[in-house]
Amino acid sequence: MEKDVESVIDTDENQFYSKAKIYWSKVSPTINGVLGGFGHISECDINGSELFLKSLFQLKNPPGNGRALDCGAGIGRITKHLLIKHFQLVDLIDQNSDFVEKAKEYVSSDRLGKLYCNGLQCFKPEEKYDVIWCQWVLGHLTDEHFKQFMENCLESLNKNGVIVVKENITSSNEIDVDEEDSSITRPYDHLLKLFEESRLKCILKQQQTSFPKGLYPVKMFALRPV
């Protein structure tokens, strides 16, 4: 029987979130810090995301370029190097107040919109978005909160809007637990199941290429309402 995140984390839900918050509070507000010591992959990551985003804009019914939301944004790395180039306004959210404060300085653009300091498990977007970008953050949500957040995002999409999920994928069929930062990595089929249970369909998917050996495979999904 396939396990859910709630059954594999060796702690209760509140501790799962509080441990992650404590971990990230000790991380320096730098590219290398937010990427866990892998700052050297940032350019390659952005290049892969750029290709994926351009593919979305080439769809028959592409998303607009009005407003985007960067989820788990850290200091605004993706906002600055990707989203600002394609959208008139970009909001961002991160639970770490130091990261959010640093993002104002780091992004430094009149296209930077609202900045939210909150965890995704208790966040409901208040604006309407063309693209909601979720990268390397959904592993900090339980399955139930994952689905709730996706459903909240669905209600915040403009016409032809898209939720982008870019996440590590386990090479096995098991959920991997990282006790250090209190996160999990899901198998591919587990993610697809969560999308389906969140009333989402995948309209485009790609695998990130050119990452160093030894890292998790990384996949990108573009999601719309069923």
The CA-based angle 72-155-223, given to 5 degrees, is 65
Q: In percent, how much of the chain has pLDDT > 90? A: 93
Phi then psi for 67, rounded to 5 degrees? Answer: -145, 140
Instruction: Look at residue 2 in the predicted model and tell me its pLDDT.
Output: 59
Give me the pLDDT at residue 9, please: 80
108/149 Cα distance (integer angstroms): 28
Is 135 annotated as contributing to ligand binding? yes
Phi-psi region of 171 (alpha: psi -120 to 50; beta: other; left: phi over 0): alpha
The pLDDT value recorded for residue 1 is 41
Contact at 8 Å (CB) between 101 and 38?
no
Note the pLDDT of residue 205: 98
pLDDT value of position 12: 84
Whose CA is closest to 84, among 106, 44, 111? Answer: 111
pTM, to two decimals: 0.97
* Adjacent-strand bridge partners of 104: none
Q: State how far the alpha carbon of 176 is from the alpha carbons of 10, 32, 168, in Å.
A: 12, 23, 10
Give the CA radius of gyration of the chain.
16
* pLDDT at residue 188, rounded to an integer: 97
33 is in an annotated binding site: no
Q: What would the pLDDT profile of 138-167 be if each residue is shown by its tens digit?
A: 999 999 999 999 999 999 999 999 999 999
Does the annotation list 72 as a binding residue? yes
Q: State the pLDDT at residue 4.
A: 80
Cβ contact 152:123 at 8 Å = yes
Nearest in space to 82 (alpha carbons), one of 110, 117, 116, 45:
45
**One pLDDT digit (tens) per residue for the chain, 226 residues:** 457 888 778 678 999 999 999 999 999 999 999 999 999 999 999 999 999 999 999 999 999 999 999 999 999 999 999 999 999 999 999 999 999 999 999 999 999 999 999 999 999 999 999 999 999 999 999 999 999 999 999 999 999 999 999 999 998 889 999 999 999 999 999 999 999 999 999 999 999 999 999 999 999 999 999 9
User: Which amino acid, 52?
Assistant: F
Domains and CATH numbers, the chain: 5-225 (3.40.50.150)
Give CB contacts under 8 A, 24+ apart, made by 32-38: 34/74, 34/75, 34/77, 34/99, 35/77, 36/181, 38/215
121 is in an annotated binding site: yes
Q: Is 224 annotated as a binding residue?
A: no
H helical segments located in the chain:
5-8, 13-25, 31-34, 42-57, 77-78, 84-86, 97-107, 143-154, 188-197
